[in-house]
């Protein structure tokens, strides 16, 4: 994370720079420590008001916060609290979107087909609701190999999507991955 400072109307002490740097480096735990992350800190003084404006720009993220008080150290703490609150809120929203996008259970229907000459239409004989277990493709292949089933529905642990592993006529396995 690249941290840059801009000071207006005052000469900062080394202690103030070190304090602000140490406080804002703790934000890396929320966004990850990537080289592309830029943190611009603008500190200024006007009469008795100490102002801090912070702009955080990362890959898909742009957050800013502003605070003013009578002490520069407390202003830095307050603006940091605002930024952390915004980051936590955004992270929770992202988690909620991910959770909402993945279905928790899958429905399995067994359809029986008859000869085309009889004129009957296929009917659903059985229906079952279950939650696919998360596992890797190799684990799913071992489970399908040890059982007599023709296919296995599972949640791919690497992609978090529901996949189907099936047995081919020659004894090998095929994988159906719905993609995005």
Structurally, what CATH architecture does the domain formed by 2-101 represent?
2-Layer Sandwich (3.30)
Instruction: Answer yes or no: CATH 3.30.505.50 is held by domain 106-176.
Output: yes
Query: From the CB of residue 163, how many other CB atoms can be counted at a distance below 10 Å?
Result: 19
pLDDT at 112: 56
Question: Is the predicted pLDDT of residue 103 greater than 80, yes or no?
Answer: no
Q: Do domains 2-101 and 106-176 have the same CATH topology?
A: no
Question: Is the predicted pLDDT of residue 115 greater than 60, yes or no?
Answer: no
Average pLDDT over residues 71-88: 91
Indicate the SS3 state at residue 179.
coil
Query: From the CB of residue 52, how many other CB atoms can be counted at a distance below 10 Å?
Result: 23
Q: What's the mean per-residue pLDDT of the chain?
A: 82
pLDDT for 20-52, tens place per residue?
989 888 877 777 666 678 889 999 999 889 999
Indicate the SS3 state at residue 167.
strand
Residue in the structure block whose two tokens are 């480096």: 25
Share of the chain above pLDDT 90, in %: 21
Question: Is the predicted pLDDT of residue 110 greater than 90, yes or no?
Answer: no
Question: Is the predicted pLDDT of residue 54 greater than 70, yes or no?
Answer: yes
pLDDT at 37: 84
Domain boundaries in the chain? 2-101, 106-176
- Which structure tokens are listed for 114? 């008859």
Determine the Cα angle at 91 with ends 85 and 92, to 5°. Answer: 90
Question: Is the predicted pLDDT of residue 116 greater than 60, yes or no?
Answer: no
Distance between CA atoms of 155 and 104, rounded to whole angstroms? 10
Buried b (16+ CB within 10 A) or exposed e, 100-124: eeeeeeeeeeeeeeeeeeeeeeeee
- Which structure tokens are listed for 68? 């003013």
In contact, 165 and 149? CB cutoff 8 Å? no
pTM score: 0.53
Cross-strand pairs, 162: 155
């Amino acid at each position: 994370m690249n941290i840059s400072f801009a000071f207006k109307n005052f000469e900062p002490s080394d202690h103030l720079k070190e304090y602000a740097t140490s406080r804002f480096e703790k934000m890396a735990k929320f966004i990850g420590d990537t080289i592309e992350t830029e943190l611009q800190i603008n500190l200024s003084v006007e009469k008795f008001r100490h102002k801090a404006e912070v702009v955080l720009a990362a890959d898909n993220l742009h957050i800013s916060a502003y605070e003013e008080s009578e002490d520069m150290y407390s202003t830095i703490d307050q603006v940091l609290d605002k930024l952390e609150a915004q980051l936590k809120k955004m992270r929770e929203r992202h988690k909620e979107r991910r959770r909402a996008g993945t279905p928790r259970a899958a429905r399995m229907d067994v359809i029986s087909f008859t000869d085309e000459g009889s004129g009957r239409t296929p009917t659903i004989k059985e229906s079952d609701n279950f939650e696919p277990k998360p596992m890797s493709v190799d684990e799913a292949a071992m489970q399908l190999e040890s059982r007599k089933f023709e296919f296995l529905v599972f949640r791919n642990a690497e992609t978090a999507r529901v996949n189907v592993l099936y047995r081919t006529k020659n004894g090998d396995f095929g994988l159906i991955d719905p993609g995005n």
